[in-house]
Amino acid sequence: MAPMGIRLSPLGVAVFCLLGLGVLYHLYSGFLAGRFSLFGLGGEPGGGAAGPGAAADGGTVDLREMLAVSVLAAVSGGDEVRRVRESNVLHEKSKGKTREGADDKMTSGDVLSNRKMFYLLKTAFPNVQINTEEHVDAADQEVILWDHKIPEDILKEIATPQEVPAESVTVWIDPLDATQEYTEDLRKYVTTMVCVAVNGKPMLGVIHKPFSEYTAWAMVDGGSNVKARTSYNEKTPRIVVSRSHSGMVKQVALQTFGNQTTIIPAGGAGYKVLALLDVPDKSQEKADLYIHVTYIKKWDICAGNAILKALGGHMTTLSGDEISYTGSDGIEGGLLASIGMNHQALVGKLPDLEKTGHK
């Protein structure tokens, strides 16, 4: 018997409890669905090494299909980059400072390209880890479907599917390389890039130039649509270096290769890798080596590393160490990129930056 003479019927209590549970379920199911859909799109949205990674039971992915989608993503991102530049409304901002005190810039071109590239890849390959340079706004999701067509030039070079476990894959997206130069309207330096690493090793890379609509791609042990030049000057190389994050690179280059060496300052890590290759684009300068001495991020260099490796070249730290494209998003040891040369001999010539204070 309840107080004040009110009798509680067991049936009434059961109905009341069921109703309460129903209300709770309704409230929480929406919340949980939201959380799970976010996980499906690569976990925590946002720049940097985003998300909890691929599910352990994510099955396999075909690298040839990943290459097709990567090319599509780089071209679609590039369309955004071009559209924003041509509108002249860049909404330029600083994300902060680099370690050396330069502005780390971002524009609408970076953000819109990032969104296109991320969602194209994430929708096609929901189980792989994707790291993008810019923040992805989860409230502004976009489902961009891939039509499952592999372009003829890829099919011609890579005859069979190349399956790997989804959990072994890390994708790196640079939605706009050479943002500094983009803001200065130096269009030739600008690229969009996608890289796919397997167990940390760069396997396929795409570098796209949106303003000349040129795209280079390559897959290690697969094929490519670009090749090395026939010869390189190893003795007095033309060296392409950063124009806006140079550090002491000129001193290092001249000290190593002598005063006869030509230094070519240029924007963008993608542009500088293309400078080492046989690229038909008229706006592209040519160089024999690419050296960088300051800190740099993996989305800036992974695609170039994969392409050079696929063509028999090398990209390592200045001490000759291979770069692993998992985990942290930056590398400390500088960069040396070469093709058609004895890379280890070049490493041997370079000074130890820690000792000489050239870092």
Ligand X SMILES: Nc1ncnc2c1ncn2[C@@H]1O[C@H](COP(=O)(O)O)[C@@H](OP(=O)(O)O)[C@H]1O
Residues forming the active site: 110, 179
**Pairing of β 335-338 and β 262-266:** unpaired
Per CB under 6 A, the segment of 82-90, 226-234, 296-304, 334-342 that binds ligand X is 296-304
Q: Does 267 bind ligand X (CB under 6 A)?
A: yes
Q: Do the Cβ atoms of 298 and 292 come closer than 8 Å?
A: no
**Beta strand ranges found along the chain (DSSP E):** 60-62, 93-97, 103-106, 129-132, 163-165, 169-177, 191-198, 201-209, 214-219, 223-224, 227-228, 238-242, 262-266, 277-278, 289-292, 296-297, 314-316, 330-331, 335-338
By CB under 6 A, name the one of 13, 29, 100, 354 that touches ligand X.
100
| 133 in a labelled binding site | yes
Task: Please name the residue ranges forming H helices in 10-62.
Answer: 10-40
∠ CA 12-15-21, nearest 5°, is: 140
**Binding-site string for ligand X from residue 10 to residue 49, where x marks contact by CB under 6 A and - marks none:** ----------------------------------------
- Which residue stretch of 24-32, 58-66, 251-259, 288-296 sits at the interface with ligand X (rule: CB under 6 A)? 288-296
Structure tokens at 320: 């000759």
174 makes contact with Mg ion (CB under 5 A)? yes
- Of the candidates 245, 309, 314, 358, which one interacts with ligand X according to CB under 6 A? 245
User: Counting contacts by CB under 6 A, is residue 244 touching ligand X?
Assistant: yes
Whether residue 300 is annotated as binding a ligand: the answer is yes
Residues in CB range of 301: below 8 A, 6 or more apart: 269, 315, 323, 331, 335
Instruction: Select from Mg ion, ligand X, none the partner in contact with residue 288, using the beta carbon and a kind-dependent cut-off of 5 to 8 Å.
Output: none
Task: Quote the CA–CA distance of 305 and 217 in Å, as a whole number.
Answer: 11
Task: Count other C-beta atoms under 10 Å from residue 95's C-beta.
Answer: 15
**Which of ligand X, Mg ion, none is residue 74 near (CB under 5 to 8 Å by kind)?**
none
**80 is a site residue for ligand X (CB under 6 A):** no
Q: Which is nearer to Mg ion, 165 or 330 (CB)?
A: 330
Q: What is the DSSP letter of 48?
A: B
309 binds ligand X (CB under 6 A): no
Answer with the entry of Mg ion, ligand X, none that 296 interacts with (C-beta below 5 to 8 A by kind). Answer: ligand X
CA distance 256 to 205: 30
Q: Interaction with Mg ion in 129-168: which residues (CB under 5 A)? A: 133
104 annotated among ligand-binding-site residues: no
In Å, how far from its chain's centre is CA 161?
23
**295 binding partner (options Mg ion, ligand X, none; Cβ < 5 to 8 Å by kind):** ligand X
Using CB distances below 5 to 8 A depending on partner kind, what does residue 269 bind out of Mg ion, ligand X, none? ligand X
Q: Which range of residues in 65-73, 78-86, 98-106, 226-234 is near ligand X by CB under 6 A?
A: 98-106
24 among annotated binding-site residues: no
| Shortest Cβ 296–ligand X spacing (Å) | 5
Half-sphere exposure of 317 (CA within 13 A, CB side): 19
Closest CA to 276 of 262, 296, 290, 263: 290
* Contacting residue, 80, 167, 174, 288, with ligand X by CB under 6 A: 174
- Please check if 145 is assigned to a binding site: no
Nearer to ligand X, 122 or 298 (CB): 298
CB 259 within 8 A of CB 192: no
Kindly tell me which residue out of 117, 178, 273, 310 binds ligand X, with binding defined by CB under 6 A: 178
Phi, psi of 176 (to 5 degrees): -165, 100
Phi (first) and psi of residue 187, to 5 degrees: -70, -30
Q: Which does 297 bind (CB under 5 to 8 A by kind): ligand X, Mg ion, none?
A: ligand X
Annotated binding site for Mg(2+): 133, 174, 176-177, 300
Binding-site residues, please? 133, 174, 176-177, 300
Contact residues for ligand X, defined by CB under 6 A: 98-100, 133, 174, 177-179, 242, 244-245, 267-269, 294-297, 300
